[in-house]
Structure 1
Amino acid sequence: MKAPLSVLFLFTSLGCKAHGWNDRSMVYKFDDIKPSANLTWTPCFDGFTCSRLEVPLDYSNKSVGTTSIAFLKLAGKNATAESPSIIVNPGGPGGSGIDLLLSNQALASLAFGEQYNIVSYDPRGVNNSGPSLDCFSGNAEARTAFNRLHRTGVTNISSASFEEQYYSSSIYGEWCNDAVKKESPHGFYVTTPAVARDLLTFIEAEAELAGQAPSDAKLWLYGISYGTVVGATFASMFPDRIGRMILDGIVDAEQYYDNAWSVNVAQMDEAMGTFSSFCHAAGPEKCSFWGPTPANIIARMDKVILQLQNHPVPISNAQSRGLPALVTYSDLKALFVTSLYVPAASFPVMADILHQLERGNASALVGMFDGQDATFDSGHVIQCADSYRRNKLTSIKEFKSYAEYTVSKSKYIGDVYPIFVDSILCRSFRPQLPDSMVVQGEHLSRPVSLFLFASVDIGLDRPTSFPILITSNTIDPITPLNSARTTSSRFPGSILLLQEAVGLTQDYFSPDYSIQSSTREGRTVTFNTFRHTFKAYSHHPISHARSKPFPSWAVLPETCQSGEEVSR
């Protein structure tokens, strides 16, 4: 899922030991590193090591050529030559793991422990990894024109904006198709199954570098949001190659490969509803939009929404001689949807903006909707290539049904969500991809063909070599809890860990996390998440959030109130 990745913690406190360093000067650009089919680590970015691993564009036909995948490693202070590397898979699609790890080094010690190496990477087509594709071929004017035509505001099926968004969406795919034809012949070779195969290549290359048998290499992965699709795909394809795997903030892989995003709105209004409870409990000193009851806060928020829907606010900027602007209902809805990713950080800001709107000041919302750029090429290209043979969102009838569904399920987010995710852009993509690179068929568990072998059942009846830990917040507005339950049911032996919190992914995940079972027995379960002895005695444990919006006040119950709900 598209997400503000910089807010996610995800890492371990590590030092500078590296295995297989090259005797070179420190580098600060991946372009300065020569790609190699053998894994080599070059000192980079003051405390890290980098590698550009050369991989086949098409694993089923290596004559097509190669591309390079950028990897970044933070070596553990207490790591040894035998220490596994935990790969952090960013969200997206289109998220850069390199940027994520570089910007979160200071938070490393909060995650997995100093006995491990932490590795992240840019998946195919993203940032420092190939193959690259610029759909508008550097034509900024054309890109701006498309955004102006397509991003008409919320997807209101009763107005012209609905048809404008549908028909203009074909323009994007046609530009991407043309760019591939003329400039980047393998620009669509960026699918998630190919990324999963790249990860297998990496762990085998890492094992070979350490003098171990590549065939025995196992993947240790922490996947976030879209990274859970990568993890689920890898586990389905290579169930016997799982060392440890945590999937956090679950995207339903079946829905993802179908380009069907309707399930994602399931808990959005539930999450928005917590804003009023949080704000009321915080009190007027901590929440500027405070009211005497949660119901009062909701009523006033609804009034602000209605006022802006009926009367956009002009911002002249005449006195400052700045650019004039018009704040619209779409700007407010964009604020809501982005705030739901990280309520703990965003709800106080949202409260301040609502307070200002109530007083007639809309300047804080200027450009909020326009700031959500639809044409983030790498993300859309990956998403559209992945879903090409299974896309269930192509006709105007399907688009209307989808928009009607999201509106019916979410009062606050439903009308902005279709243009926010913008999956309709995939309808005119025409990627010419080999069977080895796509998931086909009706179910992820039964593709027609996958990778080197035909008719592979990547199915749900084969347990993984080590149980997958699937984690979710009890209220997840972006990757809802039901997606976690569904994914857990697909992998025999997997563990579903719930945290009683609101937002995308779990904010803190220490190596020793003691949690209370939701079963009637009330047993305590301790997860040593990436240690060699992983023990789980309950299938559906639940923990409590450590951070909440408007700091220093508590609104969540101290004991689980939904134990029976999370027990199947």
Structure 2
Amino acid sequence: MDKQPLLPDNTTERRFRNPSFRRWTFILVLLIIIGAATLRHNLFLPGNNSERLSERYEGELISWEPCVPSNGITTECSKVDVPMDHFNHGASGNRTFTIPLIRMRGANATKNLIINPGGPGMSGIEYLNDHGEQLRSIIGEGFHLLSFDPRGVNKATPLASCYPDAAAREHFSRVRFRNLEIDSPETYAWTQNFAKACSDTMGEQAKYINTPQTAADMNTILAAVGQEDMFYWGFSYGSLLGQTYAGMFPARSKRVIIDGIVNQFKWYNGTFEMESQVDTNRVFYGFLNECFKAGPVKCPLSSIATSAEQLQYIVLSSMKKLREQPLSVYLNQTAYGLLKYENLWYDVVLPALYSPSTWFTLASHLHQIILGNATDVFLASGNKDAWDLGHEGSEFIRLNDGLSGPAYWPQDRQSLLDYMIPLLNGSMFGAIHGKIFFMRQQWNIPRTHHYMPQKGVKTAHPLLILSTTYDPVCPLVSAHPAQEAFVGSRIVRINGFGHCSTSVNSSCVAKILHNFLYDGSVPETSTECEVDSSYF
């Protein structure tokens, strides 16, 4: 026999109408809410001993709240509003950028060390979440580590974008660019629309997404945390931001570390600098040489060759084959695709050159491909662009900083190709910069900053300049103009491969950094440090 549906019991309704019942129900709900709030308070507040969810520290102008927990570290978050144009407040009106902040407090700290991870376009919020513990192990507990998303980047608002929404980005951002010369007609035409869309999407604020404005934003951050002097560590593009800050505000530059150096003179004054690529090939060959030196037990890729030169030849020949014929990868009816040369070379090989800790994995992937198995590297790469940030902060900053647009670039396609191809051919990885040439040519947002790098700037304290001997994107040669720019600055060269000092372990560098930050000590002359471990 089928069961009859249960009829509602009106006992509950009668109870709810009872005033005493309603009163006790209200009290019970209130206690549950208070308990939940207390639990949330205890779970997320640092040390579980603060009295408020939001906290303002003595001498500071902003309040901080616990960040969403990430990677098991405790951080606090806040934000500051900055004027659209620091150098002409009348032009800003009521328009601002909102800059999100993140801080990892030091147990014995009285000062904030501002961190910028580079890019341009990288998130300081994400970087501190991912690398805060590594930085803390080097610096110790004597500084709060403070980072931020620069204007136009990641969680900053407004976000630098050339598309009004995700659907438009998916639809309009794709352009064929496998072969520079063959695909240049499409890229040339696509870029004209891209430049117009960037200007239209961002409006007036587009003109003020640049490095000098971000440097001035850092003074707003210092004011918010009640600090006069700049203590700073900037990596890669962050070295450019550090040089820009020190050039604009030398009297406040008390401890500035620039790490993995960008040549600011070429960045601001040149149409396009390819100095960044001068050591990329050397790092790639260094990776293969170190693999061969390590031998088959530590680097199985070396087993296919009898010399380092032969290993180079075999690997590059396999890349040539992949360029001519992509490899198919089929797992099942919902997971399959092609491993293309562009995906492997630019989205797997090039990023791995930045960090020697990934070299064993890279060698394993190349070994498998040479043996005819592309599955693991296909899955590892995700068949996606490793450089896609989901916004155009990098493009806005680069193009607004340097010499862009019709005043500096030939406007026909062939003249541009005649200029750019010899530059791109200087590196095996040069073609990755192809699209930015077209963007520079077509960019129609005017440059509004007036910063011009100078030599012989005297800062409050000499800068510390760090560089590996072979950096794939910020070569040692770029460190020398930085030293010429700032009186008394010193170069510390780390004898090894990798992007920035943190890509390798060096107790020598850690000691110099610690002494510089805490005591102001700089080496008497430019010096060298060795790495502490092998690459394989």
Question: What corresponds to 2:141 in structure 1?
Answer: 114
Say whether residues 1:198 and 2:217 are aligned partners. yes
Distance 1:201 1:250 in 2: 25
CA RMSD of aligned residues (A): 3.0
Residue pair 1:386, 1:439 contacting (<8 A) in 2 also = no
Give CA deviations for 1:172-194 in whole Å, capped at 9, x if unaligned: 2121112124xxx4244221111
Distance 1:61 1:399 in 2: 41
Say whether residues 1:321 and 2:333 are aligned partners. yes
Pick from 513, 516, 532: which aligns with 1:529? Answer: 516
- What is the CA distance between 1:549 and its match in structure 2? 2.4
- What is the CA distance between 1:373 and its match in structure 2? 5.1
SS state at 2:496 partner = strand
Question: What corresponds to 2:100 in structure 1?
Answer: 70
Question: What corresponds to 1:229 in structure 2?
Answer: 240
Distance 1:130 1:223 in 2: 22
Pick from 273, 280, 304: which aligns with 1:261? Answer: 273
Distance 1:311 1:504 in 2: 31
- What is the CA distance between 1:303 and its match in structure 2? 1.9
Q: Which amino acid aligns with 2:119?
A: G
Once the two structures are overlaid, the 10-residue window that deviates more, 368-377 or 98-107, is 368-377
Distance 1:339 1:259 in 2: 28
- What is the CA distance between 1:203 and its match in structure 2? 1.7
SS state at 2:255 partner = strand
SS state at 1:54 partner = strand
- What is the CA distance between 1:372 and its match in structure 2? 3.5
Say whether residues 1:241 and 2:252 are aligned partners. yes
SS state at 1:530 partner = helix
Residue pair 2:327, 2:374 contacting (<8 A) in 1 also = yes
Distance 1:365 1:16 in 2: 40
Residue pair 1:246, 1:468 contacting (<8 A) in 2 also = yes
SS state at 2:254 partner = strand
1:275-286 equivalent positions in 2, closer than 5 A? 275-286=287-298
- What is the CA distance between 1:386 and its match in structure 2? 2.0
Distance 1:404 1:365 in 2: 31
Question: What corresponds to 1:455 in structure 2?
Answer: none
Question: What corresponds to 1:292 in structure 2?
Answer: 306
- What is the CA distance between 1:513 and its match in structure 2? 4.3
- What is the CA distance between 1:351 and its match in structure 2? 1.4
Residue pair 2:490, 2:522 contacting (<8 A) in 1 also = no
- What is the CA distance between 1:292 and its match in structure 2? 2.5
Say whether residues 1:491 and 2:513 are aligned partners. no
- What is the CA distance between 1:272 and its match in structure 2? 1.0
Change (3 A) 1:400 1:16: farther
Change (3 A) 1:547 1:174: farther
Say whether residues 1:340 and 2:353 are aligned partners. yes
1:318-397 equivalent positions in 2, closer than 5 A? 320-334=332-346, 335-342=348-355, 344-366=356-378, 370-372=384-386, 376-387=391-402, 395=411, 396=413, 397=415
Pair member with larger Rg: 2
Give CA deviations for 1:113-153 in whole Å, capped at 9, x if unaligned: 1111111111111122223233210152x423434324x22
Residue pair 1:55, 1:68 contacting (<8 A) in 2 also = yes
SS state at 2:139 partner = coil
SS state at 1:340 partner = helix
- What is the CA distance between 1:101 and its match in structure 2? 0.9
Change (3 A) 1:103 1:309: closer
Q: Which amino acid aligns with 2:159?
A: S
Q: Which amino acid aligns with 1:143?
A: R
Distance 1:394 1:175 in 2: 21
Change (3 A) 1:44 1:324: closer
Question: What corresponds to 1:402 in structure 2?
Answer: 420
Give CA deviations for 1:384-403 in whole Å, capped at 9, x if unaligned: 22225588556432344223
Distance 2:409 2:51 in 1: 52
- What is the CA distance between 1:510 and its match in structure 2? 7.6
Question: What corresponds to 1:11 in structure 2?
Answer: none
TM-score by length of 2: 0.80
Question: What corresponds to 1:556 in structure 2?
Answer: none
Distance 1:511 1:355 in 2: 33
TM-score by length of 1: 0.76
Give CA deviations for 1:226-255 in whole Å, capped at 9, x if unaligned: 111111111111111111010000111222
Give CA deviations for 1:386-422 in whole Å, capped at 9, x if unaligned: 2255885564323442232221x22x32334435xx3
Question: What corresponds to 2:434 in structure 1?
Answer: 418
Change (3 A) 1:234 1:509: farther
Residue pair 1:91, 1:224 contacting (<8 A) in 2 also = yes
Aligned residues: 471
Q: Which amino acid aligns with 1:78?
A: N
Distance 2:383 2:192 in 1: 21
Residue pair 2:161, 2:391 contacting (<8 A) in 1 also = no
SS state at 1:528 partner = helix
Distance 1:393 1:112 in 2: 45
Distance 1:353 1:405 in 2: 30
Q: Which runs of 5+ in 2 are unaligned?
A: 1-44
Identity over aligned pairs, percent: 25
Distance 1:369 1:404 in 2: 29
Say whether residues 1:148 and 2:148 are aligned partners. no
Say whether residues 1:303 and 2:321 are aligned partners. no
Pick from 150, 156, 160: which aligns with 1:123? Answer: 150
Change (3 A) 1:165 1:196: same
